[in-house]
A and B are shown apart, each in its own frame.
Chain A
Amino acid sequence: MIKVEDLARSFNGLWAVDGVSFGVKEGEIFGFLGPNGAGKTTTIRMLCTLIQPSRGQAWIAGYDVLKQPTEVRRSLGIIFQDPSLDDRLTAYENLKFHAIIYKVPRRERKMRIDRVLGMTELQGRRNDLVRYFSGGMKRRLEIARGLLHEPKVLFLDEPTLGLDPQTRNRIWQYLHDLRRTKKITLFLTTHYMDEAENCDRIAVIDYGKIIALDTPENLKRMVKGDIVTVHTQDDTLAQKELGERYRVVVKRDSSGLHFEMDKGEEFIPKLVKDFSMPITAVSVRRPTLDDVFLKLTGREIREETASDKDRLRQRVRRIGGMR
């Protein structure tokens, strides 16, 4: 349904997306996972024909993104990262205008609008101005609007950014229902690890490149065993001892020392008994996608609070530093 070959785009000599290739099957939920500024939104903008790629090719539903932009646009729906509703119009008017520009036949308009409003549970707010909607309601309305012209592929750029966990779960319910009933292909970007778990396959993207692409389960298998976190009175010494004694790579941050260990629960009693200094806290957990990202990049995705622009600046510095 989506095919991408060596797609790249530079802004003022800086490669926001640096040669990505992947394919998405019909009915698949495909996720782009990466920190802000990794190139997720730029990729979506190229696939939606909003900006021209600097190099590479892409096809959506069999149409060439470069040569058949109108057909491509007709086959896709998109939910942007930032709101794109007209808040001075009512929910119904927003949907009606969408139906007009997407050439939904007039006699079908009302029925389809009712259907998408029903699906997102917004019937009751049909004639209310969008400016009085909550963030979650706006998102739902945008999803409803994105579905109105029955696209083959739905792009969602950070669909649940800034929403509370309850609303996030509900939006994911809609998306799973949608895939089940319509066989629609979903392409989404996110930097929430738990959200990425909803995907059939995930591409981990960092600095404009795909660094891993697999199912969430397989990705997690890249991390061997469990994640053990240890806290002692002297973490520097403990880090050295752990590395020497158990031959593990120990990572240190403010919450303690972390390392991978097979059968973590059985390891803890042994550790507490054998270790040369007192351990103040210890915990064990199954690996998450956070750990995968940490393993792949050496950074935690959640640390990235910088804005896209800051991140681009960091990249300039990094590139500068490499020379």
Chain B
Amino acid sequence: MDWSTIYMIWLRDLIRYVRQRSRLYSSIARPILWLFILGSGLRPSFGAIQGFDYTQFIFPGIIAMALIFTSIQSAISIIWDREFGFLKEILVAPVPRTAVALGKGFAGSTLSVFQGTLILIFAPIVKVPIAWYNVLILIPAMFLISFALVGIGIIIASRMTSFEGFGTIMNFLVMPMFFLSGAMFPISRLPSWLKVVVYINPLTYGVDLLRNILLGISNFPIALDCCILLVFSFVVILSAVFFFNRGEY
């Protein structure tokens, strides 16, 4: 495996992230919007959900939101690299494309985990107690979820030829995946036709895992969440590598 190439792709994305402050700011602004404005607005109408109030209940979901947005955005940067030519420089180098795809995967998940961890600073405000060892479990869990999400992003980026499709992806993939993951409402009360979609959505198990770690409530056993996420990540990353390898640039 070509570790130096993976490292280079990873490092480049991190440097770019650090220099591009707007991404950091919006990643802090977005949870404030959802958690405190939407959350506080809806809290009175919801009442207690399994012993938690609404803002506490959606707190893990907001972390999942940070993960999905950051992951997809990172992977989509492949399209930027193609538009601005840098992708050619990498693809003409004597390195396997698999390493390039994996580098993107690691970079995207690293940034996602960072953004997700950042959300934890809001935990005291919504009164979600976090034990330090929970953070240690949370980080690999976030990494697992992100890796799969970046994989989805890479598949899309390999298939998409221009940047115009970006809005379509946000509307038809990212938002539905987020809404149908149980991030914003409990899935047990959904009508059964909607439940089917929710059960197919891999992010559902990610949200469930995060909620299990942070609040101690869940719909599925922790082992099932992990299994499904592992299998899904594996399949998605393999397909991402396949599609990325196949494209002509």
Contact = CB atoms under 8 A, between A and B. Distances in A.
A100 interface: yes
Interface stretch (B12-20, B150-158, B173-181, B210-218): B12-20
Contacts of A84: 85-86, 88-89
B92 A73 contact: yes
A98 B89 CA distance: 8
A14 interface: no
A5 to B, nearest CB: 22
A80 B19 contact: no
A53 to B, nearest CB: 12
A217 to B, nearest CB: 34
A89 B12 contact: yes
Given A51-B248, A80-B88, A88-B20, A102 B8 contact: no
Q: Chain B: interface residue count, which band?
A: 20 to 34
A221 B219 CA distance: 84
A130 B28 CA distance: 29
Contacts of A97: 8, 11-12
A103 interface: yes
Given A50-B249, A100-B4, A87 B84 contact: yes
Nearest to A73: B94
Nearest to B88: A84
Contacts of A70: 94
B7 interface: yes
A111 interface: no
Nearest to B248: A51
Contact of A93 (B15, B88, B94): B15
A103 B2 CA distance: 10
A257 interface: no
A101 B91 contact: no
* Residue among A82, A98, A101, A145 with the highest chain B CB neighbour number at 10 A: A101
B85 A80 contact: yes
Mostly, the B contact residues are: helix
Contact of B4 (A48, A82, A103): A103
B94 A82 contact: no
Contacts of B8: 97, 100-101
Interface residues of A, number: 27
Contacts of B248: 50-52
Interface in A87-117: 87-89, 93, 97-98, 100-103
Interface string B1-42: 000110110011001100110000000000000000000000
Interface in A193-224: none
Contacts of B86: 84-86
A301 interface: no
A228 interface: no
B88 A88 contact: no
B92 A48 contact: yes
B90 interface: yes
* Residue among B7, B12, B88, B94 with the highest chain A CB neighbour number at 10 A: B94
Nearest to A74: B94
* Residue among B8, B11, B20, B88 with the highest chain A CB neighbour number at 10 A: B88
A83 interface: yes
A48 B88 CA distance: 11
B19 A88 contact: yes
Contacts of A29: none
A50 B7 contact: no
A78 interface: yes
Nearest to A90: B15
B92 A78 contact: yes
A78 B86 CA distance: 13
Nearest to A87: B84
B95 A101 contact: yes
Contacts of B89: 80, 84-85, 98, 145
B93 interface: yes
Nearest to A100: B8
Contacts of A103: 4
Given A83-B84, A85-B85, A89-B15, A102 B93 contact: yes
A101 B5 contact: yes
Nearest to B87: A84
Contact of A50 (B19, B84, B92): B92
Contacts of B11: 97
19 contacts: A48-B92, A52-B248, A70-B94, A73-B92, A80-B89, A82-B85, A84-B85, A84-B86, A85-B85, A86-B16, A86-B86, A87-B84, A88-B19, A93-B15, A100-B5, A100-B7, A101-B8, A101-B90, A101-B93
Q: Which 7 residue pairs across A and B have the least CB separation, nearest first?
A: A84-B85, A73-B94, A74-B94, A100-B8, A84-B89, A101-B93, A86-B86
Interface of B: 4-5, 7-8, 11-12, 15-16, 19-20, 84-86, 88-95, 248-249
Interface of A: 48-52, 70-71, 73-74, 78, 80, 82-89, 93, 97-98, 100-103, 145
